[in-house]
Amino acid sequence: MRKVLLASMIFTLPILADMDRCVACHGVDFEKKALGVSRVVKNMSEAEIKEALDRYKRGEGGPMKEVMIKEVNVGVDTDAMAADVYNEIHTPGFEEPDSEFIFKKRRSVRGLHKIKMALKDADKKKYQKLKPQIKSFAFDLITYDKQLRDSINFDEIKPKNYTPKEAFEKVVAAKKCVDHSFKDEELHKCQRDFVTLAAEISLGDAMALQKKIKPKDKKKPEEKLPQTAAEAEKALVGTWSVECAKGMEPNTWMSKEVTIDNNLTAKGWMKIYADKECKKLIKEIKNNYTFKVGSLTLGDDNKEAWEVDKLLGEEKKPVYTMVRFVAPNKVLVAGATKSNDGSTPQKRKNHFEDWWPPCLKKESK
Ligand code: HEC
């Protein structure tokens, strides 16, 4: 069944160059002047043969060019045809390869020819677009040919980044290799070179993609905010400084630097500035206090915040306020409103909107 299918495919595709046809006019070894007018092809180099075939392909030639124009148009491309002719002439006892080989070679010649022409003078952008074509043709080759597939050790192939020109040159070399192959082993070697190229490109792209994805993929350690009062107290230990104060108003008291130790004693400076940028310092006082974290409740914006009792000075005069963790190392400190002045637990500072609060950032150790 497979044989029949293959045979019918061969007949529907023009085969490489049916040398038997040439013999009638050129002689068995291309030793005659065809129809008395052509050169003796046997004495021509491969490059000269190709040149002559290219001329016919362009519609040019000698007085009897029409005969050859027809022949050339049946062939695949002139590189492969010239290689065929030259090889046949110069290989003693040359035997026409079997149909299956011709079919396989033809597929390779055709595929590589297309890729080669497309890659020629391709810039980076065009090359990028052509990569799928290269990969897909290589995939075709190995899918079709188990022997070829088994002869490639994919584990040994390393990612590579080719420039468009380098890739083009590799394809040209593989195509040239295929043109000059007349046996299975020879053809496989050339196909292997091409499949390796495609695999190197594929792996190179995969690596590049991985690099691009990595920064996003690198998971930040889960930012876990304190869940209990004890955790909140522990999280507050450290050195804090003002990172931002939304729309600071002039003449605002604010804590610029605070260090909180394990006994929840805060040492810092309360400073008063005349400007929003905190550049013109008007006054500063040392402001040591201890504090205690109470329960998790809601600020006046109905979002969670911790109750904090600050105990100021020698008398431990309490100021009731709230803090909100926006990150493990970033807290907002509540500001007072008219009704919430921080003087009684019920009227603790709970205002997290508008120009207040300053946002404190803990310095990382
Ligand atoms: C019907 C006869 C005929 C057949 C069949 C034929 N050729 Fe030719 N070939 C000619 C003639 C006639 C010329 C010279 C044409 C011209 O005036 O340019 C020629 C020219 C050539 C040339 C160029 C030689 C030169 O003078 O520069 C090559 C190469 C060639 N043929 C190869 C082939 C191949 C390969 C085949 C088979 C696929 C083939 N020919 C089949 C008649 C034939």
Q: Which residue has the least CA distance to atom 42 on ligand 1?
A: 34
| Whether residue 201 sits in one domain with residue 144 | yes
Residues of the chain with pLDDT under 70: 1-18, 74-76, 214-222, 243-256, 269-278, 336-339, 353-359, 364-365
Distance separating alpha carbons of residues 162 and 354, to the nearest angstrom = 57
Candidate of 16, 20, 21, 22 to mutate for ligand 1, largest count of ligand atoms within 8 Å of Cβ: 22
| Whether residue 103 sits in one domain with residue 84 | no
- Among the candidates 44, 70, 95, a domain finishes at 95
Candidate of 25, 39, 40, 89 to mutate for ligand 1, largest count of ligand atoms within 8 Å of Cβ: 25
Of ligand 1's atoms, which has the minimum distance to the CA of residue 74? 38
Does 55 sit in the ligand 1 pocket, CB within 6 Å?
Answer: no
| Whether residue 266 sits in one domain with residue 327 | yes
| Whether residue 163 sits in one domain with residue 125 | yes
Residue 5 domain-assigned (yes or no)? no
Residue 200 domain-assigned (yes or no)? yes
pTM assigned to the model = 0.56
Beta strands in the chain (DSSP E): 238-245, 252-260, 265-273, 281-286, 289-298, 304-312, 317-327, 330-333, 358-362
- Is 301:353 a contact under the CB 8 Å cutoff? yes
| Whether residue 329 sits in one domain with residue 287 | yes
Residue 224 domain-assigned (yes or no)? no
| Whether residue 119 sits in one domain with residue 153 | yes
| Whether residue 314 sits in one domain with residue 283 | yes
Does 80 sit in the ligand 1 pocket, CB within 6 Å?
Answer: no
Instruction: Indicate if the alpha-carbon torsion angle 137, 143, 144, 146 is positive or negative.
Output: positive
| Whether residue 108 sits in one domain with residue 31 | no
Neighbours of 153 (CB within 10 A): 8
Residue 223 domain-assigned (yes or no)? no
- Among the candidates 79, 95, 111, a domain finishes at 95
Rounded to the nearest whole angstrom, what is the distance from the C-alpha of residue 13 to the centroid of ligand 1? 22
- Is 177:137 a contact under the CB 8 Å cutoff? no
Of the candidates 44, 49, 47, 42, the one whose C-alpha atom is nearest the C-alpha of residue 92 is 42
pLDDT computed for residue 60 by the predictor: 92
| 233: CB partners within 8 A, 6+ apart | 264, 292, 293
Candidate of 71, 72, 78, 85 to mutate for ligand 1, largest count of ligand atoms within 8 Å of Cβ: 71
| Whether residue 252 sits in one domain with residue 147 | no
Residue 2 domain-assigned (yes or no)? no
330-333: long-range contacts, CB 8 A cutoff, minimum separation 24? 330/243, 330/359, 330/360, 330/361, 330/362, 331/236, 331/240, 331/359, 331/360, 331/362, 332/305, 332/357, 332/358, 332/359, 332/360, 333/255, 333/357, 333/358, 333/359, 333/360
| Whether residue 133 sits in one domain with residue 38 | no
With 0-12 / 13-18 / 19 or more C-beta atoms within 10 angstroms meaning exposed / middle / buried, residue 307 is buried
Tell me if residue 272 falls in helix, strand or coil: strand
pLDDT computed for residue 21 by the predictor: 78
Rounded to the nearest whole angstrom, what is the distance from the C-alpha of residue 38 to the centroid of ligand 1? 7
- Among the candidates 55, 76, 95, a domain finishes at 95
Residue 3 domain-assigned (yes or no)? no
Does 42 sit in the ligand 1 pocket, CB within 6 Å?
Answer: no
Does 180 sit in the ligand 1 pocket, CB within 6 Å?
Answer: no
Candidate of 26, 65, 84 to mutate for ligand 1, largest count of ligand atoms within 8 Å of Cβ: 26
CA distances from 294 to 43, 206, 229 (A): 103, 53, 6
Rounded to the nearest whole angstrom, what is the distance from the C-alpha of residue 193 to the centroid of ligand 1? 33
Residue at token pair 């040359």 = 94
Residue 176 domain-assigned (yes or no)? yes
pLDDT computed for residue 15 by the predictor: 42
pLDDT computed for residue 158 by the predictor: 92
- Is 60:54 a contact under the CB 8 Å cutoff? no
pLDDT computed for residue 6 by the predictor: 40
Tell me the backbone φ, ψ of residue 276, rounded to 5 degrees.
-65, -30
Structure tokens at 65: 């060019």
Does 72 sit in the ligand 1 pocket, CB within 6 Å?
Answer: no
CA distances from 179 to 17, 29, 77 (A): 12, 20, 10
Q: Which residue has the least CA distance to atom 3 on ligand 1?
A: 25
| Whether residue 184 sits in one domain with residue 123 | yes
Residue 190 domain-assigned (yes or no)? yes
Rounded to the nearest whole angstrom, what is the distance from the C-alpha of residue 34 to the centroid of ligand 1? 6
Q: State the total domains in the chain.
A: 3
pLDDT computed for residue 256 by the predictor: 60
| 38: CB partners within 8 A, 6+ apart | 25, 26, 62, 64
Beta strands in 205-316 (DSSP E): 238-245, 252-260, 265-273, 281-286, 289-298, 304-312
Domain that holds residue 24: 13-95
Does 33 sit in the ligand 1 pocket, CB within 6 Å?
Answer: no
Does 187 sit in the ligand 1 pocket, CB within 6 Å?
Answer: no
Helix (H) or strand (E) holding 195: helix 184-217
